[in-house]
Amino acid sequence: MTMSRSRIYPLYTHAQIHERVLELGAQIAKEYEGKDLVVIGLLNGVYQFFSDLTRNTDLDFDVTFMQVASYGGGTESTGEVKILHDLDRSIRGRHALIVEDIVDTGLTLNKVRKLLLDRDPASLKICSLLDKPSRRRVQVPVDYVGFTIEDHFVVGYGLDLDGKYRNLPYVGIYNPA
């Protein structure tokens, strides 16, 4: 299958994303000032957003990752969430911030959130680059949102289709037609 960038229509430019990341970083730094914070990236799609967000959050904090999967190689969530790599440190008694690339059905974050709440953090919040509320099957609280989008399949800036397009510096709508 040959994939073409001509099927991708820009939604948010790199400059728009950068500006929003700076705003989110400032908001997070203000809220967590003086607190013991652990920032948790949900791999794989979050890597660009996570890197930019953590570089632009003026705080001392701990960084760790989880790897979860729910898409299985297509454009629709399978509804089954698999934890491929768990945290490598404890969050008990610490403030935890989950950083996600996109909240779609809510299934992935709901499972991750319940798992982490069972580990007794002082607080647990969620930051997502993109929020797609029209697709929500499970409600999850998203405390920090970069952009709210309509029901489009998006790629770029870490988001992918079968592992492709993650390297694009912008977020675009993928149109298979």
Write down the catalytic residue from 104, 143, 151, 162: 104
- Give 123's strand partners: 95
**Averaged pLDDT of the chain:** 92
- Give 159's strand partners: 156
The percentage of residues in the chain with a pLDDT greater than 70, rounded to a whole number, is: 92
CB within 8 A of 17, min separation 6: which ones?
49, 52, 129, 146, 157, 170, 171
Mean pLDDT across 83-97:
95
How is residue 99 written in tokens? 């950083």
The CA distance from 157 to 173, in Å, is: 12
Residues in the chain: 177
Q: Is the pLDDT of residue 73 over 90?
A: no
pLDDT digits (tens, 9 = 90+) for 16-57: 999 999 999 999 999 999 999 999 999 999 999 999 999 999
Structural domains in the chain, CATH included, are 13-19+35-71+78-174 (3.40.50.2020)
Instruction: Show the CA angle centred on residue 111, arms to residues 50 and 143, nearest 5°.
Output: 50
pLDDT digits (tens, 9 = 90+) for 154-177: 999 999 999 999 999 999 999 987
Amino acid letter, residue 160: D
Q: Is the pLDDT of residue 78 over 70?
A: no
Amino acid letter, residue 101: D
Query: Regarding beta strands 171-174 and 8-12, do their DSSP bridges make them parallel or antiparallel, or are they unpaired?
Result: antiparallel
CB within 8 A of 114, min separation 6: which ones?
none
Confidence of residue 1 (pLDDT cuts 50, 70, 90): very low
Whether residue 162 lies in the annotated active site: no
